[in-house]
Structure 1
Amino acid sequence: MMRVGILTGGGDCQGLNATIRAVGKSLMLNYNGQIIGIEEGFAGLLERKVRELTYTDCSGILALGGTILGSSNTANPFNYKGKDCSAQVVAYYHELGLDSLVIMGGDGTMSIGYELSKLGMNIIGVPKTIDNDLMCTERTFGFETAVSVATEALDRLRTTGHSHKRVMILETMGRYAGWIALHAGIAGGADVILLPEFPYDIDEIVSACRLRASEQQYSIIVVAEGAKPQHGSMVVQQTIADSPDPIRLGGIAENLKSQLEQHLKVEVRATSLGHIQRGGSPTANDRIFATNIGTYAADLIARKHYGQIVVQQQNRLTSVPLQQVANQTKAVTLEDTTLQSALALGINFGCSELKPNLR
């Protein structure tokens, strides 16, 4: 009998329970696996909060948002309450008799997992983040659902913008990468999309809004929380010292609103979706993708192919060493197909570096 631990690290995300279900059921049915749920992410290993997951525990959770195990984005074993507690985590891993540990998370979780693997723990990574900013993979589960939520919000903001001839600004999550803003902006028909990767010039945005006012009487702007003006900085909402990523972004939409009001005669309104983007049930595609990822992770465990993270490359599942994704962020680049499509449609990105491809 193999004994496998599962934890969900970082922020909660649609599709986590679908993945727990897939890993757990696949190991139980095919490999006589015993599943140990680690509660509240790495905090469960630090504070000894674990429980066995039965087949029943893994049933009926496919469509459930959040995570039945709980999560934490502040419990870093290498800096827990100011101390390096990694040796304590490794010792408890062995005390539990685990053959391996499945960690579900983004770059922060994978960075911790990589360091723990160097200390002798058998780690398998599963790519989870609504931000889609994990290296080496084309997709992470939760991303599509977050984009769908943001797109619906844009559809709703459009009716108000049209009715009142306003500039409507929507702030999305994404940290230092603009994937959610880019994809939701295209799906929601935005006029302006502002990304962290390309600092904006306020004059470019003003010009775009004035042009839209003359043509359609209103404008829709999508701004990623990590976007910043040229020669400026990101808007930091708060700092959490003991988190793998201590900076919490937020508030750029209100800042942009204040800037635009100084140049435009029309009304400007700002909306921030915040955690609404990461809550609720996953889409059908995210449920399927999370299931495929989970069963693939179970197969890696069965083959004792440790120190790997499951990824999607060229639309197929494979795995790469944790080292390749640790301490890195996947950013939107000029070569991205979706970005090029946006430029071809004349969408404004607020900077001279990204001029629409208009003939």
Structure 2
Amino acid sequence: MADLLPRSLPRRIGLLTGGGDCPGLNAVIRAFTRTARGRHGVVVVGIEDGFEGLLEGRMRELDYNEVAGLIGEGGTVLGTTNKGDPWHFPVTAADGTVEIHDVSARMLARLREAALDALVVVGGDGSMHIAQRFVALGVPVVGVPKTIDNDLSATDTTFGFDTAVSIVSEAIDRLTTTASSHHRVMVIEVMGRYAGWIALAGGMAGAADTILIPEVPFGWESVFRHVRQRALRGRRFSIVCVAEGTKLPDGGEVLRGIDRRRTDAKQLGGVGAVIARQIEEATGLETRVTVLGHLQRGGTPTAYDRLLATRFGVAAADAACRGDSGVMVALRGTDIVTVSIADAISTLRTVPPDHPWVHAARAVGTRFGDEPVPTGDAADRGDDARGADPAR
């Protein structure tokens, strides 16, 4: 298809943030604006509230004053939404029902009306899928990977992940003191729809006793046995860290609702409560659940995320201003490179069951709920598959 926007070097570039908020978004906005304006002399047009703002024409030029001091601020000054997919756009009818429309043609018209030469999309897997569809229509697009879930392929990591892991590990530290004082089992539910990176890294850093993630199917008895064995050995508390997308042993997902306004309508949540209830009923041990939820998204980014977001913003500005399209900036080793958006969204980056982090966690005694349960004489002796449970 012929390009719908001019392909000469861009002079006006639209910048939007899509999907859930994430620590480091403002650092990207700051770095992109300062680089595009200062190094390339390009006008940066901030699009409010993601693709929804693009449809409604809510845009404003960004200058040095507006992005000053943003590097350490959480959230996004441009606003964002996860309900603005142009090909799956929710419209509320007069009777209150939600209808799904294709408004992509209207969004393309808005791009032309705003005289934007290119579009930079800062977002996760869903936003990158939308970006790729715009590329197919001839719109010059550069992507910046953003997701605390760390599930985008083609980049070693995404900004926001380090902050989320830090929040989870600190929460586990705090909950551990309560769990040990009251001799309870504490189940901590964290984000991770289809990838368990946050639960794995946060659980390891917080010394969780059991980590449950979508990529490693677990069995009830394995989880129960580990909790019981810890209690019998004098470890009168246990910490279980579970990703929200972890499936139950029967393969079922735990949902808190369905939202048709979103491209991925499933609203995950509640698996922690199910697991806590099962543990208490099976072991007789008092069990509580804490859902960290949006705490993992909020607040100031870590120093690592500020640095990575800044490097991504600079690289995205350079790529967009030299006329690149259909690419996403990415971290490879210590280098920031550009990769194909199509490659980045070809598959989700999930946790391989044999990942080095999983091996390390197992080596220090962390369980994943997939350990074999001893039977016969071994079960009668209380033997564990890997010997005595070490102290945390």
- TM-score bracket, normalised by the shorter chain, equals over 0.9
Map 1:24-39 → 2, pairs under 5 A: 24-39=33-48
Deviation at 1:210, TM superposition (A): 1.1
Match of 1:70 among 66, 79, 97: 79
Match of 2:21 among 5, 12, 25: 12
Q: RMSD of the alignment, in Å?
A: 1.7
Percent identity (aligned): 43
Q: Distance in 2 between matches of 1:326 and 1:95?
A: 29
* Counterpart AA for 2:121: I
Does 2:92 match 1:83? no
Does 2:214 match 1:205? no
Partner of 2:139: 121
Deviation at 1:329, TM superposition (A): 1.5
* Counterpart AA for 2:300: S
Partner of 2:212: 194
SS at match of 2:308: helix
Partner of 2:5: none
Match of 2:197 among 170, 179, 183: 179
Does 2:57 match 1:48? yes
Does 2:271 match 1:252? yes
Runs in 1 of length 4+ with deviation above 3 angstroms?
A: 352-359
Q: Distance in 2 between matches of 1:7 and 1:353?
A: 48
* Counterpart AA for 1:47: E
Structure 1: stretches of 5+ with no match in the other structure: none
Match of 1:292 among 296, 308, 311: 311
Is the CA contact 1:212–1:219 (under 8 Å) kept in the aligned structure 2?
yes
Bigger radius of gyration: 2
Q: Distance in 2 between matches of 1:99 and 1:352?
A: 55
Cα separation, partners in 2 of 1:181 and 1:94, compared to 1, 3 Å: same
Map 1:1-359 → 2, pairs under 5 A: 2-81=11-90, 82-215=100-233, 216-326=235-345, 328-352=347-371, 358=386
Cα separation, partners in 2 of 1:70 and 1:327, compared to 1, 3 Å: farther
SS at match of 1:269: strand
Normalising by structure 1, we get a TM-score of 0.97
Deviation at 1:242, TM superposition (A): 2.3
* Counterpart AA for 1:257: A
Is the CA contact 2:326–2:340 (under 8 Å) kept in the aligned structure 1?
yes
Q: Which stretch shifts more, 303-312 or 104-113?
A: 303-312
Is the CA contact 1:5–1:37 (under 8 Å) kept in the aligned structure 2?
yes
Q: Distance in 2 between matches of 1:125 and 1:64?
A: 21
Q: Distance in 2 between matches of 1:318 and 1:236?
A: 37
Q: Distance in 2 between matches of 1:250 and 1:348?
A: 22
Deviation at 1:327, TM superposition (A): 5.8
Q: Distance in 2 between matches of 1:174 and 1:138?
A: 17
Q: Which stretch shifts more, 313-322 or 112-121?
A: 313-322
Is the CA contact 1:107–1:328 (under 8 Å) kept in the aligned structure 2?
no
Q: Distance in 1 between matches of 2:228 and 2:368?
A: 15
SS at match of 1:97: coil
